[in-house]
Amino acid sequence: MTRLGLSVKATCCGDISAFPIDDDTFYRQDCFMAQRGSIVPFAGWRRTRLLGESPLRQAARSIGDRVVRIAEEVVGQDIDARIAGIKTHKNEVGHDPFGFDPETSRYALAVAALLHRRYFRTEVYGIERVPEGRVLIVANHSGQLPVDAVMIGSALMLDADPPRFPRSMVETWTAELPFISTLYPRLGQVVGSPENARRLLQQEESIIVFPEGARGISKTFDQRYQLTDFGLGFVRLALETDTPIVPVAVIGGEEQYPSIADFKPLARLLRMPAFPVMPQVFFGMIAPLPTKYRLYFGEPFRFSGDADDDDSVIEEKVWLVKSTIQSMVNRGLRERKGVFV
Amino acid sequence: MSLSKPHARRGREGSYRRPSARAPVARGVFGPTAQVRERVQPELVQPEPTKIAERRAAPTSGTHPKPALEGAVLVTGICGRLGKLLARELHRTDQVVGVDRRPFPDRPKDIVHHELDMRRKKMKDIFRGRNIRAVVHLGVLHDLRRSDRERHAWNIVAFQKLLDYMSQYEVPKLVVLSGANVYGPQANNPQFLNEDAPLLGAQHFGGMRDLIELDMLAQSFFWKHPSTETVVLRPCHIVGRVHNAASNYLRLDRPVMVMGFDPMMQVVHEKDVVRAIQHALRPGVRGIFNIRGPGEMPLSHLIRKAGGRPRVVPAPLAKVALDQLWKLRLSSFPSQELDHLRYVCMVDDSRARAELGFEPVHSIDRVLRDVRRLRYLVA
């Protein structure tokens, strides 16, 4: 016991001064265990507390690192190299102005890579068509949970060369939710507003857009792969910032959570956009069904014109994008052998 | 030297002319308005955007030392930390007149200080007795412990009086220090607010109403009196040795953070704000400008960089606890200010960079060192 006590004392009082407190790179280092200087587990916890690293966070970090290693072995790709390969626009103090944190994102990318390669076995076609620089990636939305966004994002990160880091625009109310409001910006998600989108495109970033919005994601099973109305905002944004639009068809999302009805009164009560009734959840299958995802990237559209044109003029361009995605979806459905293969 | 050509005389000499107590000159359409323009001949300090450069009429000679602009700068609220900093910077080039309710014992010798309430009639005598070329309004009461009535009387009524005197005596420049708080932290804010964003700061926090009204008053003065160049500065959280909520928060050893929230934050050094005010005092500059500091970072990083360790508390608990501590006068933060720890309220300073020519020079390390230094001095 005395030995334990001594070691605790030695490590907690040892060289605090050697590590300046305001050096926030210290607690990000991987060799934290090596620097602890004792073989007794958690002997250095006092010092880590002083440096702002809680034991909980330390545990989370070690689990996260393990997940990254597992994902790298399973996928056969270097996750850290992919994260390092993306271009971000850091400000004067070395942070992304929108809060993107590569440290958190590597864990998320590891999980997404496992889903992408193993769980949904995603096939990606035509990703080389995504042009360099600013781009709007417009896709059909499906599947009750936004797994399609994760699949498109991981395809751009893992399959595109060099890796592209896409941002997606999330609902405003997510910023009011604790933990989610911290997590989303760290993963590069941005609260959906025209100002934010404009700023990101001016920084030559890529944005994933689902013009169907909540209408598309909460479709019931009988309406699967039928595109609902598209909003007009994305075309106006593309015209204003002179951005190419890449249409993407996502196949496989509609079958992951088949929903038989939308229970509207409960949705209103819970202030949710929809309350899907999903039979698989009643049978205890909370995870999505392991359908096979297929992503088809189309040729980019480059529109020109006035961003403030009448709705009728903009609608023509929107219709062009929508009909392209619909025909790509139809072709993909014809070509696939089955939902799970 | 005859007094018949006062403007010509002023143009040659750098000396300060104290006119006798006389009524202000009525300036009509054809009258001495041109002379007013002439009086405000700018000096060349730095290369500036073309817009401002166009307004310059006469070039100054390069060898001659920089002449001070004619007339004095009136600084209200000069005894605050920011006011003192501004006074020390300004009095080297300009004549500074200070107005504050508090005394200013350690002031530089050439600063004339009036210890008075802005609502008193003596304020008018200052305008009447001196040639005031600019007014910098820093005398804003932020203390939320004061009653609503007192804050309204000070922030709105006194400011209105000040504006009345300014229009009566045709002061050519007004600089008002507002703040980015007037936009208010909201979940649906864009990441960077520009100057056209609505002022919604009072939506969840009634204590902000005065400050928004003050900002609006300055804006309406901007439109009503085009002959006065009105500048409204909206800096993000000013930190340094000042005693405001943001600096006091960063000085805490264990500042409270709301569990599950870690918004991006902007801070700006007090001396950068002083520089921005000096930029705003140059002739030809008018409008509303957001002022941003050296860069934005998550709140948790900011606290750790300042040497603190965040104390993470769930939002409902933090609200109840802060309410009680506020009632018992143990805390200086009202619970409504917790929104600043949850949602973003950051500004886009591209207009200030382009039109004001202002860029922050103090790095984030310097900013936080100054915040910390005061804590160690106190402790």
In this structure, what are the phi and psi dihedrals at residue B115, rounded to the nearest 5 degrees?
-95, 90
Q: Is the pLDDT of residue A50 over 90?
A: no
The C-alpha atoms of residue B140 and residue B100 are separated, in whole angstroms, by: 11
Residue A301 lies in a domain: yes
Residue A226 within any structural domain of the chain:
yes
Indicate if A316 and A262 belong to the same structural domain: yes
Q: Each residue's pLDDT tens digit in chain B (379 positions)?
A: 444 444 444 444 444 444 444 444 444 344 343 343 444 444 444 444 444 444 443 444 334 334 456 889 999 999 999 999 999 999 999 899 999 999 999 899 999 999 999 999 999 999 998 899 999 999 998 888 889 899 999 999 999 999 999 999 999 999 999 999 999 999 989 999 999 999 999 988 888 999 999 999 999 999 999 999 999 999 999 999 888 889 989 988 889 999 999 999 999 999 999 999 999 999 999 999 999 999 899 999 999 888 888 899 999 999 999 999 999 998 888 898 999 999 999 999 999 999 999 999 999 999 998 888 776 554 3
Q: Which of A195, A202, A207 to mutate to test the interface with B (most CBs of B within 10 A)?
A: A195
Domain identity same for A183 and A42: no
Q: Looking at A85, A120, A135, which one is the last position of a domain?
A: A85
Task: Answer yes or no: is A107 within a domain.
Answer: yes
Quick one: A187 and A312 in the same domain?
yes
Q: What does the pLDDT look like over A221-272, one tens digit per residue?
A: 999 999 999 999 999 999 999 999 999 999 999 999 999 988 889 988 887 8
In a domain, A138, yes or no: yes
Asked which of A56, A85, A114 is the last residue of a domain, the reply is A85
Same domain, A59 and A153: no
Q: A162 preceded by cis ω (within 30°)?
A: yes
Per-residue pLDDT, A114: 95
B254 touches chain A (CB under 8 A): no
A10 shares its domain with A107 = no
Across A277-309, b (16+ Cβ under 10 Å) vs e yields ebeeeeeeeeebebbbbbbbbbebbebeeeeee
Contact B301 A24 (CB under 8 A): yes
Q: Where are the alpha helices (DSSP H) in A101-146?
A: 102-114
Residue B79: which region, alpha, beta or left (left: phi > 0; alpha: psi -120 to 50)? alpha
- pLDDT (tens digit, 9 = 90+) per residue, A147-199? 999 999 999 999 998 899 999 888 888 889 899 999 999 999 999 889 999 99
A24 with A159, same domain: the answer is no
Total domains, chain A? 2
In this complex, do B260 and A176 lie within 8 Å of one another by their Cβ atoms?
no
The answer to whether residue A313 sits within a structural domain is yes
Quick count: other Cβ atoms within 10 Å of Cβ B225?
Answer: 17
Is A160 found in the same domain as A35? Answer: no
Whether B295 sits inside 8 A of A95 (CB atoms) is: yes
Q: How far is A21 from chain B (nearest CA, A)?
A: 6
Q: Which pLDDT score, from 0 to 100, does residue A108 have?
A: 94
Distance of residue A27 Cα from the nearest chain B Cα, in angstroms: 11
Q: Are residues A179 and A73 in the same domain?
A: no
The answer on pLDDT for A8 being more than 80 is no
Look at residue A22 and tell me if it is in a domain.
yes
- pLDDT tens digits, residue range A287-327? 999 999 999 999 999 999 999 989 999 999 999 999 999 99
Q: Which of the residues B193, B195, B261 would you substitute to probe the A interface, choosing the one with the greatest number of A C-beta atoms within 10 Å?
A: B261
Candidate from A49, A99, A190 with C-beta closest to B298:
A99
How big is the CA angle at A62 (ends A60 and A67), to the nearest 5 degrees?
90
Residue that the structure tokens 């300090």 belong to? B45
User: Chain B contacts of A179, Cβ < 8 Å?
Assistant: 260
Alpha-carbon distance values, B350 to A166, A197, B177, B223, B291 (Å): 25, 17, 18, 23, 9
Q: Inform me whether the C-beta atom of residue B326 falls under 8 Å from chain A C-beta atoms.
A: no
Of A52, A92, A196, the CB nearest to B191: A196
Higher pLDDT, A21 or B262: B262
Q: Does A52 touch chain B (CB under 8 A)?
A: yes
Q: Which of A52, A85, A118 is the last residue of a domain?
A: A85
A98 vs B189, B191, B261: nearest CB: B191
Residue A237 near residue A248, CB atoms below 8 Å: no
- B343 CB neighbours in chain A (<8 A) are 175
Give yes or no for residue A29 having a pLDDT over 70: no
For residue B335, give how far its alpha carbon lies from the nearest alpha carbon of chain A (Å): 17
Compute the nearest-CA separation of A24 from chain B (Å): 7
Minimal CA separation from A239 to chain B, in Å:
21
Asked if the interface predicted TM-score (ipTM) of this complex is over 0.95, the answer is no
> pLDDT confidence of A45, banded at 50, 70, 90?
low
Residue A284: what pLDDT?
Answer: 86
Residues A226/A184, Cβ–Cβ less than 8 Å? no
Strand spans (E) along chain B: 72-76, 95-100, 112-115, 132-137, 173-177, 229-235, 237-239, 256-258, 264-269, 287-291, 296-298, 311-313
CA B65-B71-B72 angle, to 5 degrees, is 100
CA neighbor of B69 nearest in space, from B39, B96, B49: B39
* Nearest by Cα to B74 from B186, B165, B202: B165
- A315 phi, psi to nearest 5 deg: -60, -35
Q: What pLDDT sits at residue A254?
A: 92
- Mutate which of A16, A22, A46 to disrupt the B interface (most B C-beta within 10 Å)? A22
A58 and A167 housed in the same domain: no
Indicate whether A90 belongs to any domain.
Answer: no
Residues A71 and A111 in one domain: no
Question: pTM of the full predicted structure?
Answer: 0.79
User: Is A61 a residue whose pLDDT tops 70?
Assistant: yes
CA end-to-end span of chain B: 60
CB contact under 8 Å between A93 and B364, yes or no, is yes
The CATH number linked to A216 is 3.40.1130.10
Which site among B301, B363, B365 would you substitute to test the A interface, given the most A Cβ atoms closer than 10 Å to its Cβ?
B301
Q: Are residues A130 and A46 in the same domain?
A: no
Residue A135: inside a domain: yes
B169 Cβ contact partners less than 8 Å away, ≥ 6 residues apart: B24, B127, B128, B132
Neighbours of B181 (CB within 10 A): 25
Q: Residues A253, A320: one domain?
A: yes
Contact list, B310 vs chain A (CB under 8 Å): 52
User: What domain range is A313 assigned to?
Assistant: 102-335
Whether the CA torsion B180, B185, B188, B192 is positive or negative: it is positive
The reply to whether A17 touches chain B by the CB within 8 Å rule is: no
